[in-house]
Structure 1
Amino acid sequence: MAGWYEEAVGLLRRPAVAEMAVDVLLCAVPIWAAVMIGLVIGWARGKHQRKDAALADDDDAADASGDAGDCVDGRTFFEGGHHVVTEKDLEHLVQLLDNKESGDTTWQHLMERTTSNMTYKAWRREPEVGPIMYCSRTIFEDATPELVRDFFWDDEFRLKWDPMLAYFKILEEFPQNGTMIIHWIKKFPFFCSDREYIFGRRIWESGKTYYCVTKGVPYPALPKKEKPRRVELYFSSWRIRAVQSPKQDGQQSACEVTLVHYEDMGIPKDVAKVGVRHGMWGAVKKFQSGFRAYQQMRDTDNTLSRSAIMARVTTKTSIASSSCPLDQEPSNAAKTIDESENSRAVQPGFDWKWVVFGGAVAAVCVLNTGLVGKALLIGAASRRQAKK
């Protein structure tokens, strides 16, 4: 034991080893500083959020007591389902699809990817007021609009392919027009609380084109809690229709899905943009694999879930079909995201504390995987070689 101790002491007394240890410590200081600053910011924000949540709970309790005589379980709040998702919501979707509600902001090209059986394009725009809007256009080869429509509505199957969906429940359904009120809880990374959604959804049918409208709705029977955090501003809607295959075989054997999505998750825009940009393609690939699994399941099993059955109850309407106007926008109007990010980086008013917080989170993630130690040792060794 004594011999081992003497060897260890002798090793530490070597100038090269001591110098490398100092290098490692100097490299680690900025990371731990970022971690500590991030923890302080997180603690401060959590304190304010707890105060806001307490005030919100008091307001909810007052509202609930005032509405107790009128709404016991939420069902009388949306009697008949006619006021959950309305024609105005459909009109809002159509206006966005026709690019008639863009205002002074333009759609920016975000991504374009192609696989053997799918084509995907995405855009985003940032209104002066409200959350960032996203629009995507996906073409699935060898798919029918009816199957894609069922897939979007089938929450029972979604639990099998969407790792973010932790829980869902049908709160209410209205068979006369197909309207549903759904409760979701989605899992978020460890540094964010989970998110809760209560939304209404309904499908309109024009010819063989389906307009699937989903939006957040109030539901007094299910009061808000501190956790999971409820997302109240939520709009996620699709147009689904048959199109000619990109393979140019002259057949309408493909299905086009144009999505318009925006929500206020309570996350700063700059942080949300980075997360969406880096996670979008992975989410799209999971979506694609989930749809193909659903396609195989439906080929062998004709049993429909309750959600898929309700997807077949549509409201007939007449809407003039149009192409995706984003594909025809001039290149100077649709700036690339990289150009936009560079321009925003030098604008005043950028909240740098969230950059530090993001760095702290990244540091924690890397520390958990053991990669920081390797990176620091490699850096120290390289500087040692340079000194030689």
Structure 2
Amino acid sequence: MAALVDVLLGIFRQHTLGGAALELAILAAPLWVAALIGLLIGWAWRPRWAAALVGDHGQQQEAAAEALGPPAPQPMLAPITAPAEVSFRDTAAVVPRADVVASPEEERLAVNTGDLMHIWRLVEEKDGGPSWIHMMERTLPTFRYQAWRRDQSNGPPQYRSSTIFEDASPEVVRDFFWDDEFRIKNTWDDMLLQHETLEEDTKTGTLVVRWVRKFPFFCSDREYIIGRRIWASGKTFYCVTKSVPRPAVPRHSKPRRVDLYYSSWCIRPVESRKGDGSMTACEVLLFHHEDMGIPWEIAKLGVRQGMWGCVKRIEPGLRAYQIARTAGEPLSMCAAMAHVTTMFNADELDTEDNVEASPSSNNIEVEQPKHWTCNISKVLMIGGAIALACSFDHGLLTKAVIFGTARRFAGPGR
């Protein structure tokens, strides 16, 4: 260390700025060579998320879609009507028990009973997936929040959260999350820029909608083509939203299409924290994952840093929605379609074909230690950060940012 200090002092004793710059360049050359070698090795061992940076993922999906041939014809859907003509309040599509298993008409829908079984298994923790890692827990007077994450071997990170709102009914919470017009009007979801309904089935309540969501300045906005449908078992609602292929909707470079998106809720009444035994609280179990075209490790960092800020905006939005409903404001078409639910009995679901999975013990608090070879990419990243920090004399703040970024990526659980 003393030798390095002597060398640096000798450099800065140079009589000319050009001489000092030349000496610094010579000193930094080995570091830059090491960083370049690290980049070449890292690219040769390219991790799974690197394909997203060059568009390999999207090309593979398009090639697979071409290999499968044209999509199956969709059922004839009712034309979209104006909100004033919609009258769906308290209506429901009752499906016989046999239809819960399967039917050709049901399978042709954008969201079908296979999706119901999937979210039911997620709620019951019988989907056979990896263990959930506890991320966060917050408690405020009017709601409680917990979040978990798990990593897939061949897909983006998956998130599960439990939000319990005091003094809220499942029916109003269901309409609140389905109401895209109120999302934009109230701005509780400030990422949603545009929404439009492409298809609707007034018999089952199945919708296909198009979203455009705002992303940070260094990313282009994202476009989503989403299928939506709600099932009801008593006062418990299973609300499924997922990406659906629609080749007829043209793609554009901006906004960029997101092909993998899943965000579904189980909304159910729970006991209030008041301790009087009343079921006046409402729990929202959310299951979410998507491939935004951003490296998954960076996306995980962004989600972890911004999650609580987004969650805090939901509760004021819900209270404003409750006030509007109490005041008698008319339902939007989106919220009216939330009343067209498919009824079923959750107790009668056939669970014999469920994959074996451990129940509530499937949650863990900390990540398991990994083999040392899994840390090679972290070492390369730290080495690159050191090269940057030591090669540019931009002050302590710049170096702190560089080292801090490397530490976040290399830290445990990141």
- Give your verdict on TM over 0.5: yes
What is the identity, as a one-letter code, of the residue corresponding to 1:276? V
The secondary structure found in structure 2 opposite 1:201 is strand
Q: Offset at 1:300?
A: 2.0
- 8 Å CA contact 2:231–2:344 kept in 1: the answer is yes
Counterpart check, 1:89 vs 2:134 = no
The 5 Å alignment of 1:235-250 reads 235-250=262-277
Q: How does 1:293-372 map to 2 (within 5 A)?
A: 293-320=320-347, 329-330=360-361, 334-336=363-365, 339-340=366-367, 343=369, 347-348=373-374, 351-352=377-378
Q: Does 1:158 align with 2:183?
A: yes
Q: Which moved more, 1:121-130 or 1:212-221?
A: 121-130
8 Å CA contact 2:160–2:285 kept in 1: the answer is yes
Pick from 252, 255, 259 the counterpart of residue 228 of structure 1.
255
Distance 1:319 1:55 in 2: 38
Paired with 1:215 and 1:207, the residues of 2 have a C-alpha distance of: 23
Aligned ranges for residues 17-36 of structure 1 at < 5 Å? none
Aligned: 1:101 with 2:127: yes
Superposition map of 1:116-265 within 5 A: 116-159=141-184, 160-265=187-292
Question: Aligned partners of 1:149 and 1:79: how far apart in 2?
Answer: 27
Q: Are the equivalent residues in 2 in contact too, given 1:123–1:135 (CA < 8 A)?
A: yes
Aligned residue for 1:302, secondary structure, equals: coil
One-letter code of the match for 1:49? V
Ranges in structure 2 where 5+ consecutive residues have no aligned partner:
1-12, 14-19, 37-41, 43-49, 78-104, 350-356, 401-414
Say which SS state the counterpart of residue 167 (structure 1) adopts: strand
2:54 is aligned with 1:49: yes
Which amino acid is the alignment partner of residue 123 of structure 1?
W
Match of 1:276? 303
Counterpart for residue 410 of structure 2: none
Contact 2:263/2:286 (<8 A) preserved: yes
Q: Report how far residue 335 of structure 1 moved.
A: 3.3
Compared CA separation, residues 53 and 334, structure 1 to 2 (3 A): closer
How much does 1:269 deviate? 2.2
Instruction: Write the distance in 2 (CA, Å) between the matches of 1:273 and 1:113.
Output: 19
TM-score, length-scaled by structure 1: 0.70
Closer/same/farther in 2, CA of residues 192 and 329 from structure 1, 3 Å limit: same
User: Displacement, 1:288?
Assistant: 1.7
Query: Judging changes above 3 Å, is the alpha-carbon distance between structure 1 residues 215 and 54 closer, same or farther for their aligned structure 2 residues?
Result: closer
Structure with greater proportional helix content: 1
2:88 counterpart residue number: none
Instruction: Indicate conservation of the 8 Å contact 2:243/2:262, yes or no.
Output: yes
Residue 375 of structure 1: how far off its partner (Å): 3.9
> Tell me, what secondary structure is at the counterpart of 1:79?
coil
Deviation at 1:346, TM superposition (A): 5.1
Cα distance in structure 1, aligned partners of 2:53 and 2:156: 21
1:373 to partner: Cα distance = 7.0
- Give 1:192 shift: 2.1
CA distance in 1, matches of 2:181, 2:268: 23
Q: How far is 1:329 from its partner?
A: 3.8
Alignment size in residue pairs: 323
Q: TM-score, normalised by structure 2?
A: 0.66
Give distance in 1, aligned partners of 2:303 and 2:212.
Answer: 19
Judged with a 3 Å threshold, the aligned counterparts in structure 2 of structure 1 residues 241 and 56 are, in CA distance, closer, same or farther, namely: closer
Give the fraction of aligned pairs with identical amino acids, expressed as a percent: 45
Whether 1:112 and 2:137 are equivalent positions in the alignment is yes
Whether contact under 8 Å (1:121, 1:138) holds in the other structure is yes
How much does 1:51 deviate?
8.3
Tell me the alpha carbon deviations over residues 286-334 of structure 1, each in whole angstroms, 9 at most, x when there is no partner: 1222212222222224211110000011111110399xxx9x845xx63
Deviation at 1:132, TM superposition (A): 1.7
**What CA deviation, in whole Å up to 9, does each residue of 1:154-179 have, x standing for no partner?**
00011122111111111111111111
Q: CA–CA distance in 2 between the matches of 1:47 and 1:91?
A: 30
- Residue 122 of structure 2 aligns with an amino acid whose one-letter code is L
Secondary structure of the 2:227 match is: strand
Q: Distance in 2 between matches of 1:313 and 1:221?
A: 26
Deviations 1:351-370 (A, max 9, x none): 449957x989xx9xxxxxxx
For the pair 1:77 / 2:106, whether they are aligned, the reply is no
Q: Within 2, Cα distance between the matches of 1:149 and 1:156?
A: 14
Determine the structure 2 residue equivalent to 1:385: none
Q: Distance in 2 between matches of 1:143 and 1:244?
A: 11
SS at match of 1:109: strand
Gaps in structure 1 of 5+ consecutive residues:
1-14, 16-21, 364-371, 379-388
